[in-house]
Amino acid sequence: MKFKTLGKTGLKVSVVGLGGIPIQKVTEDGALEIIRECKNRGINFIDTARGYTVSESHIGKALKEVGRENFIIATKAMAYNYFEMKKNIDDSLEALGVEYIDLYQIHNAGTRGQFSDVVSEDGALKAMVEAREEGKIRHIGITSHNHEILEKALDYEEFDTFQFPYNPVEDQGADVLSKAAEKNIGVIIMKPVAGGVFPKPALSLKYILNTDFVTLAIPGMDSIEQVVENASVAENLSLLTDEEKVEIQKIAKEIGTDFCRRCGYCLPCPQGINIPAAMLLENYVKSYSLNDWALKRYEGLFSKASDCIKCGICEPRCPYNVPIRKRLESVKETFGE
């Protein structure tokens, strides 16, 4: 396994980590087997979240068997104010069953308003700094699907890591991630297969790990076979061949632009539809089979795809020319509206 230093944290991390979203699909015993195989393969970084239902607790119970000392644990919370973040950090510690968490992250700060709340006088960042001083967490990070938010985060020295989507068909964050690496901020890549869109995971992972600004990638894994496949890419990492570069270009052309990069430029919708969230939740159903989990969150959205009146205001705003009205029809069918 290849290792890199996670920016200014100083932590030595495997260049492939375990993404914890799919852990909620497996049993406690299944999670134990996956994490045991991660240890066997040299994967020492685990990323999860408060919002991933049982993922934290499954991982926590597995750590008791496999050994917490063998892993760098990262988790995150969609909490943007002081009191919510303070509670979430304590809840994560309890769920994971650990005395401290190596990396705690702001989860999906997607709007300027959310980021402003995070860094305000009574924002989540204040709670995270306090938790770090108390020894509850060691380092602070931020995740987003909007590269403009990370541009703002560059100005705050408290952030040790950035987590953002990057893969052969999603490079909208390349500039800000490169800037982050120059400032010794650790770069964690989520969605390494574009949320299941890219058909050759190993090739996509190889592409990512050959990118200079990347520290590590965290593909979601719900089986031992996936752990073996992903670890093998890092174990045998070489430069991309000319043939592989041509294949990546061919696949990217075939995929085209008909998928959401979650940049948020389409918003606001006059009907109040959170378009990126609706499309993302549909993808969790189609690519990860997280039907119940996605449906519960979809039902919690203020407006649904069925509220779309096909005004088309959103589509000219999209820099990737996604046919949003057509995609919302698909979302509507997926969730049975």
Q: Would you kindly state where each structural domain of the chain is located, as residue ranges?
A: 3-240, 275-334
> How high is the mean pLDDT of the chain?
95
User: In this structure, what are the phi and psi dihedrals at residue 193, rounded to the nearest 5 degrees?
Assistant: -120, 30
Helix, strand or coil, per DSSP, at residue 238 = coil
pLDDT of residue 221: 95
Query: What's the whole-number mean pLDDT along residues 144-168?
Result: 96
Q: Which CATH number is 3-240's, of 3.20.20.100, 3.30.70.1560, 3.40.50.300, 1.10.760.10?
A: 3.20.20.100
Q: Which residues, in sequence order, are bridge partners of residue 165?
A: 190
273 Cβ contact partners less than 8 Å away, ≥ 6 residues apart: 301, 303, 304, 305, 307, 308, 328
- With 90 as the cut, is the pLDDT of residue 212 above it? yes
pLDDT of residue 48: 98
* Distance (Å) of CA 148 to CA 17, 81, 164, 189, 280: 25, 20, 11, 16, 19
Q: What is the pLDDT of residues 44-74, one digit of tens each?
A: 999 999 999 999 999 999 999 999 999 999 9
- With 90 as the cut, is the pLDDT of residue 83 above it? yes
**Angle, vertex CA 169, rays to CA 287 and CA 208, nearest 5:** 95
Q: Please say whether the beta carbons of 254 and 286 come within 8 A.
A: no
pLDDT of residue 54: 96
Q: What is the pLDDT of residues 94-120, one digit of tens each?
A: 999 999 999 999 999 988 999 999 999
User: In this structure, what are the phi and psi dihedrals at residue 221, rounded to the nearest 5 degrees?
Assistant: -135, 130
Query: What's the whole-number mean pLDDT along residues 74-93?
Result: 98
- With 90 as the cut, is the pLDDT of residue 256 above it? no
pLDDT of residue 265: 79
| Residue showing tokens 């990396």 | 103
- Read off the pLDDT band of 336 (50, 70, 90): very high
Query: What's the whole-number mean pLDDT along residues 172-200?
Result: 94
104 Cβ contact partners less than 8 Å away, ≥ 6 residues apart: 74, 75, 76, 77, 89, 92, 128, 131, 137, 139, 140, 141
pLDDT of residue 260: 87
pLDDT of residue 195: 81
